């Protein structure tokens, strides 16, 4: 089937409005938020409104031998949703229904195009809570979250996306619809196929529906901020929180560069003092006396580890203000240039070593690197700032990006805690999982997608 014939067939089956080929329009669907990743020119962008439309697209593309790159909101930070030349970008944002909220069984059935925040707000009306909360939650989609196994700020207590998944519906490479998983709390029938698709970055199939477990709505959070004159002291506090079995609902870290950027941007003083090298922000969502006890225990650990500032509040507005300092860091860094954010996860006892390593890299490449991270998970986002007008700075930013990954691996960590491999960390995946791991990945890909239809070249090549 020629490309023209494929476009004609897609228009016949899905309707003209669902198939876009104007290059000005298709280009706007061609890339995500990662500046390092390669981008191709799509043949077409297809926006089905239902599962049948997805199946029709997959069947037609399989017949034509045209690759498919599934796409949610394009907020990814690995190039995983980036087009390759001549592909169909399959955008799932119009499958945007919350099919069911079953409060009695504390679960919901949701289509992939629903925006994370809209879903969270909808279940909240039933007194329920959907934990996965990537910082991009006001525009990223549930489908993208599932396909990247997204994390976020509250993972330290509630886990990542996969921990909420009960079942999935997935359109496979032959257009058939796999319904896998369960609606029950337990269930061990067969391989856990749902979790195989979670985090598979659109390389194995197209997720068209998910059944997810919900939690009771937590209490309004109480917040603690603690400032340290060394990152080692802050790192020791995190390690002690883990060792002593405390489970805050959020535990974030900001290094000196991030603190300064946030303070300048917000025109505020976080009260940490001029010698502050690291801030920890912690929350408890247990409510009332339990939250007070949890925060007191966290505060004591911080003080024991030498915190020069330790301040707890159960005032929600004040807590939000403190958390805003963490949330604005990326935006604040735009005062100095454009940013390139890395994503490494290290054992929680080694956070300070990672931050020290980033400082060394920053000096070496002569670029600003700010480290913020989900300290409770060891998932750090060293963010490199460079001038958009300087090729030389871009090259040095790339060098820093790679050197940080090397440091992460050398500390016993992983090259991605939540953003994924995509089109920028393929060699790093190979390095991390080794030849046997890579062979198993390829075997799974070949079993499920023998024509290499879905997102070819992303994650690894065959
Ligand atoms: C400012 C900012 C902050 C961020 N913070 C976080 C964070 O805290 N935690 C975190 O984990 N991530 C974070 N991210 C990264 C990003 O938002 C997440 O990876 C998110 O899950 C991507 O969702 P999306 O809808 O934008 O997916 P896209 O970027 O469109 O796609 C991501 C991947 O999913 C695949 N895909 C999408 N939908 C489907 C589907 N229905 N079926 C099969 N494959 C599909 C795509 O092919 C691609 O491989 C952040 C990004 C930004 C820009």
Tens-binned pLDDT, residue by residue, of the chain (462 aa): 899 999 999 999 999 999 999 999 999 999 999 999 999 999 999 999 999 999 999 999 999 999 999 999 999 999 999 999 999 999 999 999 999 999 999 999 999 999 999 999 999 999 999 999 999 999 999 999 999 999 999 999 999 999 999 999 999 999 999 999 999 999 999 999 999 999 999 999 999 999 999 999 999 999 999 999 999 999 999 999 999 999 999 999 999 999 999 999 999 988 777 889 999 999 999 999 999 999 999 999 999 999 999 999 999 999 999 999 999 999 999 999 999 999 999 999 999 999 999 999 999 999 999 999 999 999 999 999 999 999 999 999 999 999 999 999 999 999 999 999 999 999 999 999 999 999 999 999 999 999 999 999 999 998
Q: What pLDDT shows up at residue 1?
A: 87
Neighbouring C-beta atoms of residue 193, cutoff 10 Å = 18
From the CA of 134, how far away is ligand 1's center (Å)?
A: 9
Residues in the chain: 462
Q: Which atom of ligand 1 approaches the CA of 420 most closely?
A: 19
Q: Which CATH superfamily is domain 222-410 in?
A: FAD-linked oxidases, C-terminal domain (3.40.462.10)
| Architecture in CATH of 98-216 | 2-Layer Sandwich (3.30)
From the CA of 121, how far away is ligand 1's center (Å)?
A: 19
Pair 169, 99: CB distance under 8 Å: no
Give the residue extent of every domain in the chain. 3-91, 98-216, 222-410, 426-462
β-strand partners of 100 = 109
Q: Alpha carbon of 131 to those of 134, 165, 363: distances in Å?
A: 10, 11, 38
Q: Tell whether domain 426-462 is in CATH 3.30.70.
A: no
**Alpha-carbon gap, residue 367 to 375, rounded angstroms:** 23
From the CA of 76, how far away is ligand 1's center (Å)?
A: 4
Q: Which atom of ligand 1 approaches the CA of 417 most closely?
A: 11
**Alpha-carbon gap, residue 206 to 113, rounded angstroms:** 12
**Alpha-carbon gap, residue 408 to 167, rounded angstroms:** 33
Q: What pLDDT shows up at residue 136?
A: 95
Residues with CB under 6 A from ligand 1: 32-33, 69-77, 80-81, 92, 112, 134-136, 140-141, 143-145, 147-148, 150-152, 201-202, 206-207, 330, 418-419, 455
Q: Tell me which fold the domain 3-91 belongs to.
A: 3.30.43
Q: What pLDDT shows up at residue 399?
A: 97
Phi-psi region of 149 (alpha: psi -120 to 50; beta: other; left: phi over 0): left
Pair 34, 424: CB distance under 8 Å: yes
Pocket residue to mutate for ligand 1, from 138, 144, 339, most atoms within 8 A of Cβ: 144
Backbone angles phi, psi at 411, to 5 degrees: -90, 10
Pair 249, 157: CB distance under 8 Å: yes
Q: Which atom of ligand 1 approaches the CA of 133 most closely?
A: 8
Using a 10 angstrom Cβ sphere, with 0-12 exposed, 13-18 middle and 19 or more buried, the burial of residue 74 is buried
Q: Which atom of ligand 1 approaches the CA of 92 most closely?
A: 41
Report strand pairing: 165-171 vs 19-20.
unpaired
Q: Identify the CA nearest to 254 among candidates 275, 274, 226.
A: 226
Same fold, 3-91 and 222-410: no
Neighbouring C-beta atoms of residue 271, cutoff 10 Å = 14
């Amino acid at each position: 089937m020629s490309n023209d014939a494929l476009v004609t067939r897609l228009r016949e089956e899905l309707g003209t409005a669902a198939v876009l080929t104007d290059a000005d329009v298709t280009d706007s669907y061609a890339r995500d938020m990662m500046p390092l990743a390669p981008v191709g020119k799509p043949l077409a962008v297809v926006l089905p409104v239902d599962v049948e439309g997805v199946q029709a697209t997959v069947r037609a593309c399989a017949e034509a031998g045209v690759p498919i790159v599934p796409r949610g909101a394009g907020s990814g930070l690995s190039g995983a949703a980036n087009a390759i030349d001549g592909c169909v970008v399959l955008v799932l944002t119009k499958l945007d229904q919350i099919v069911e909220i079953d409060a009695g069984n504390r679960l919901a059935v949701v289509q992939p195009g629903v925006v994370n925040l809209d879903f969270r707000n909808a279940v909240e009306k039933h007194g329920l809570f959907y934990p996965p909360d990537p910082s991009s939650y006001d525009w990223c989609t549930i489908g993208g979250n599932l396909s990247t196994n997204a994390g976020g700020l509250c993972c330290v207590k509630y886990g990542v996306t996969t921990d909420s998944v009960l079942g999935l519906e997935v359109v496979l490479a032959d257009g058939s619809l796999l319904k896998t998983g369960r609606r029950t709390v337990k269930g061990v029938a067969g391989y856990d196929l749902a979790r195989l698709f979670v985090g598979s970055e659109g390389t194995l199939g197209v997720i068209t529906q998910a059944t997810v477990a919900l939690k009771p709505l937590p209490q309004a959070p109480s917040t603690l901020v603690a400032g340290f004159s060394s990152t080692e002291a802050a790192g020791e506090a995190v390690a002690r929180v883990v060792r002593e079995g405390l489970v805050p609902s959020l535990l974030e870290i900001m290094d000196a560069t991030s603190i300064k950027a946030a303070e300048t941007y917000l025109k505020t003083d976080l009260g940490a003092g001029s010698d502050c090298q690291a801030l920890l922000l912690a929350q408890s969502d247990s409510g009332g006396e339990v939250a007070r006890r949890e925060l007191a225990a966290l505060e004591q650990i911080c003080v024991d580890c030498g915190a020069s500032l330790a301040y707890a509040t159960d005032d929600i507005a004040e807590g939000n203000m403190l958390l805003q300092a963490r949330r604005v860091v990326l935006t604040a860094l735009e005062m100095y240039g454009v940013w390139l954010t890395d994503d490494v996860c290290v054992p929680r006892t080694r956070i300070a070593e990672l931050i020290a390593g980033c400082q060394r890299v920053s000096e070496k490449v002569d670029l600003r690197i700010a480290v913020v991270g989900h300290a409770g998970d060891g998932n750090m986002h060293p963010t490199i700032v460079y001038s958009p007008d300087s090729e030389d700075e871009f090259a040095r930013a790339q060098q820093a990006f790679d050197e940080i990954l090397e440091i992460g691996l050398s500390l016993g960590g992983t090259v991605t805690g939540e953003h994924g491999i995509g089109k920028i960390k393929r060699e790093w995946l190979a390095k991390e999982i080794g030849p046997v791991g890579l062979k198993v990945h390829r075997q799974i890909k070949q079993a499920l997608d023998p024509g290499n239809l879905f997102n070819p070249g992303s994650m690894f090549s065959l």
